[in-house]
Amino acid sequence: MKINPITSNKVVNLQQVKNVKQTPKLSYATDVVNISKNTIGVERQGKNLHVSFTGKFADPIDAGVQFKIAGVTRHQKGMAGAHAEATDDNLVKLAKSDWKDGQKLDYTFDEETKTLALKDPQYGEIGTVPTPVAEKFMNVINTDKDNFQFELTNVTGGVTSDFPIIAAKANLRYVGKDDKVKENARNEFNAMMDSKDVKVASSVTPYQPKFSPKQVLETIFDVEGKRNGLGEVRKIKDAVDTIVKELQDPKNKNILVVGHCSPDGDAVGCVIGMTSALKGAYPDRNIDASIDDDIPNSFIHVPGVEDIKRPYNAKAVNSVKKNIEMLEKSSEPAAKQQVEMLNKEVERLQDKSKLFDPNTVDGGEAKKYDLVIMVDTPTSGRSSRAYKPYFENAGKTIFIDHHPLKEAEWANSKENLGFDMGKAIQEKLALVVDSVPAATQIVTAVCDKAGMLGEMFKNSAENARKFVAGIITGTQTDTCAYKNQANYHPSEAKLPQSQKANYYPEGMSNYLIDKLDGDINKKWMRENLFYELPNNPITNNLGPKDAVLKMALRGREMYPEIGLGIMKVRYDVMDNILQEAKKQDKNVTMTDVYNSFKNSEVNAALKADPKFSKSNPNPVTDSEKAAETYRSPYDSDRVAVFMAQNQKQGTLNKFSQIADKNMISFSFRSGGKTNAAQVLATVFGGGGHAAAAGANISMRDLNFNSKLTVKVDGQVANDAKTIYDAANNNVNVSNNNKINFKDKAKMMKKIEIEMSQDGTGRTCSELIKDVLTEMRKATPMPQSRPRYPRHIAEDNVIQFPQQVVNK
């Protein structure tokens, strides 16, 4: 296809070109094609290609860079995380104050020590610029001293024993008008981010300016245009336009918004955000919000969470009642206690105040909705069959997500869930953009495109407050406190940081916070988005929170040779901690216990690149041992796996049924240099992003020592390479947006996991280790094992290659 230069005043109608296979090569600065009534602009800036729906391009981001303030523990005197030589509590005072994102910080530079200290005008010094970039910063500042300023951008941590240290981030930004100085500063900051000196590159991240929902949408077109060509841009645009039309249609009076089970912050935030925007823009409509699961206590303070209710699950109630009848006939001593527990469960499941359709408890017909909107749901298995009548009877169904869409994971969704993914795609009501780091960003962009945000902010302060709280909760949690600015493809891993995709998730949060101008801000996030298990000692002088740490240590395995860390926890361990915690807080759930393990210091150490970790050569306490890590050639792309036996046969499962199988869930995290997390999840039937994915397997008598057999297309695969090749093929097919939904199914390898019948095979850990070993062979790291100074290399290294316990 020929693209005409903008100077010719000609355009190409893309409707005549149904399938653009690749992004065209451009020889002019700007080329424009026409899609329907909108104009898409394609602009090449050096090696970068930029796409815009308007044909106009926003000014480049202001010259700035973000960094984590160093030396903060010296300004937290009196706190658990303080440095032994802490001189003051200036940062503690700042954290307690009414601080704002963007407030100015003063600075001083010591020429002799090359120390660049940062000071709050009211409380004094709070830390320093990281040493590797301090002098570089001063060289930039000296080009125009009056127009460079440091700004506080966030204060985090210091509110739980997991994070006893208050952390802070800042920007260095040029605020002057001299274009030459601005361009020079931008080049210098990019050079730092792209530096081959890992200490320099790791000290700075892209500046996060206020970023509007419209800019998020334009960035989607930009990134997807580069990755997959203008054909993909057209497909996304069509989905956005169709969904917007349905949201705006006054005929759609009754709407249900649904998020996935085992909800995280992104699911909760998407449901609250979409519901609040609809209510704020259309107060005459009936909008219901639902998640068929307990909301983690981490999010109980988020405004709008009280609006999320569950469907009535008659099948679950009947199942519990049958188990009560069976137990009442038992003479076992524990039966009476189990009956009491199940009776409470029946009461909970039938509590009409917790249901969005309470009439169904008494046999009434299920509500009929004009629209059912499913958000942030990676697979049909993460939803609930209790929604089936609502999907089946809906006028239309909308799907919005940021997880890679796999046909196999939705193949039976129509039968099991009532949701027809194929139909949603055909009707252009499925919007999936897997490059976006949080689904809340997509929801925000769609609501803005529909004009709902403007109406909401104008007409409903209550819904605006809920919307902002929900969206920033989801965005902050799903990006790991704004660390992840896009979901990268492995092919992009080697790109310089300044050239990588960036959706500015923190910038969008700043935009919404500023738009609300209320009490929902980053200070609110720090003080409300956490939950810690109670920790008063009950048994063996050990509180529930300390028990999590001790058992996490027992469940740790390390494989330095391939950059792998695994943490495992059994169901009985989690349940014992849950029962102890309930004695102190009756609202604690198994999800809270699970999250405590997942977010523990042990798991955090397994995930973190150890290059800059603080050393402790003689750990004694559990907290000190939790910080232990290993050195590896793969430190920049470590893989951490959390395995939890989260269902045990014979006990009540999350669907209020007596489980007939054991289940193990997997959370995979990697450094993003490869698609390791996604490949490993695919082996176990799951999925997700290149650097973050998950899976579940369930079988009778399954445990961490069970030997498993893997079949590929029906044939037993004893060779780990065969398993890796099949999983990698499925990931590549799934990620290829140029292949249509039906053809993807034909190209997928069928991977099945069964319990071994003859005692041969691999345990879960062995399977993960062997498949990752094959991946490391296929995609070796470019550098050899790094050489560290002796005092750094040996301080934090665990000398044993494996620590296998908690069987």
User: Which of 374, 427, 377 lies closest to 402, judged by CA?
Assistant: 377
User: pLDDT tens digits for 696-716?
Assistant: 999 999 999 999 999 999 999
Check: CB of residue 415 under 8 Å from CB of residue 232.
Answer: no
**From 142-151, 153-162, 172-181, the region with the lowest mean pLDDT:** 153-162
Alpha-carbon span 217 to 241, nearest angstrom: 12
For 182-208, the pLDDT digits (tens) are 999 999 999 999 999 988 998 999 999
* pLDDT on residue 27: 30
Cα distance between the two ends of the chain: 60
Which spans in 394-496 are helix H?
Answer: 413-417, 421-426, 439-449, 452-459, 461-478
**For residue 22, pLDDT beyond 80:** no
3-state secondary structure of 279: helix
541 vs 388, which has greater pLDDT?
388
* Amino acid 659: pLDDT: 86
Query: What's the gap between Cα 703 and its chain centre?
Result: 28
Kindly report the three-state secondary structure assignment for every residue of 18-50: CCCCCCCCCCCCEEEEEECCEEEEEEEECCEEE
- Residues 6 or more apart whose CB falls under 8 angstroms from that of 746 comprise none
- Alpha carbon distance 608, 612 (integer Å): 9
Runs of H (alpha helix) within 667-740: 676-683, 720-735
Taking only the tens place, the pLDDT of each residue in 28-42 is 233 333 333 444 555
Contacts of 448 (CB under 8 A, 6+ apart): 212, 213, 214, 217, 454
Nearest by Cα to 659 from 620, 628, 702, 710: 702
State the alpha helices, DSSP H only, in 208-264. 213-228, 230-248
Arithmetic mean of pLDDT, 727-756: 86
Over range 541-556, report the average pLDDT: 92
Q: What is the mean pLDDT of the chain?
A: 87
Q: What is the pLDDT of residue 620?
A: 83
Structure tokens at 404: 């890679």
Give the list of residues 6+ apart from residue 715 with CB closer than 8 angstroms, or none.
none
pLDDT of 5 over the 60 cut: no
Q: Which amino acid is at 797?
A: V
CB-based contact 383:417 (threshold 8 Å): yes
Please determine, for residue 57, whether its predicted confidence score (pLDDT) is greater than 90. no
| Cα distances (angstroms) measured from residue 55 to each of 33, 116, 247, 633, 670 | 9, 43, 26, 46, 37
Query: At residue 130, what is the residue type?
Result: P
Residue whose C-alpha is closest to residue 420's, from 452, 393, 448, 460: 393
Q: Which of 485, 377, 399 is nearest to 446 (CA)?
A: 399
Give the Cα separation of 595 and 505 in Å (integer). Answer: 23
How far, CA to CA in Å, does 774 sit from each of 388, 634, 690, 691? 41, 14, 17, 17
The residue to which tokens 């490059």 are assigned: 435
pLDDT band at 3 (very low <50, low <70, confident <90, very high): very low
Strand order in the sheet with 708-712: 715-716, 708-712, 751-755
pLDDT in tens, 106-156: 999 999 999 999 999 999 999 999 999 999 999 999 999 999 999 999 999
Q: For residue 479, what pLDDT is reported?
A: 93
| Per-residue pLDDT tens digits for 462-506 | 999 999 999 999 999 999 899 889 988 766 777 888 888 999 999
Higher pLDDT residue, 491 or 260?
Answer: 260
Read off the pLDDT of each residue in 507-520 and give the average, rounded to a whole number.
Answer: 95
| Confidence at residue 488, expressed as pLDDT on a 0 to 100 scale | 81
Residue with tokens 């966030």, as numbered in its chain = 154
Q: How far is Cα 672 from Cα 487, in angstroms, rounded to an integer?
A: 9
Tokens of 338: 């189990």
d(CA 384, CA 309): 13
Residues 375 and 271: beta-carbon distance below 8 Å: yes
CB atoms within 10 A of CB 668: 27
CA distance 622 to 528: 27
User: What is the arithmetic mean of pLDDT over 564-576?
Assistant: 96
- Residues 233-253: what's their mean pLDDT? 97
Asked whether residue 278 carries a pLDDT value surpassing 90, the answer given is yes
Query: Residue 535's beta-bridge partner residues?
Result: none
Residue 209 neighbours by CB distance under 10 Å: 16
Q: How far apart are CA 526 and CA 92, in angstroms?
A: 13
Q: What is the pLDDT of residue 795?
A: 35
- pTM, to two decimals: 0.87
Residue 167 pLDDT more than 80?
Answer: yes
Stretch 664-687: mean pLDDT, rounded?
A: 92
Q: How far apart are CA 56 and CA 35, in angstroms?
A: 15
pLDDT at position 718, please? 93
Instruction: Name 484's Cβ contacts closer than 8 Å, sequence gap at least 6.
Output: 437, 478, 505, 691
pLDDT reported for residue 472: 98
Chain centroid to Cα 45, Å, comes to 31
- The better pLDDT of the pair 44, 685 is held by 685
Question: Look-up: residue for tokens 């898409």?
Answer: 40
Task: Kindly tell me the number of DSSP H helices and DSSP E strands found in the chain.
Answer: 27, 25
pLDDT tens-digit series, residues 572-628: 999 999 999 999 998 899 999 999 999 888 998 999 888 756 666 788 888 888 888
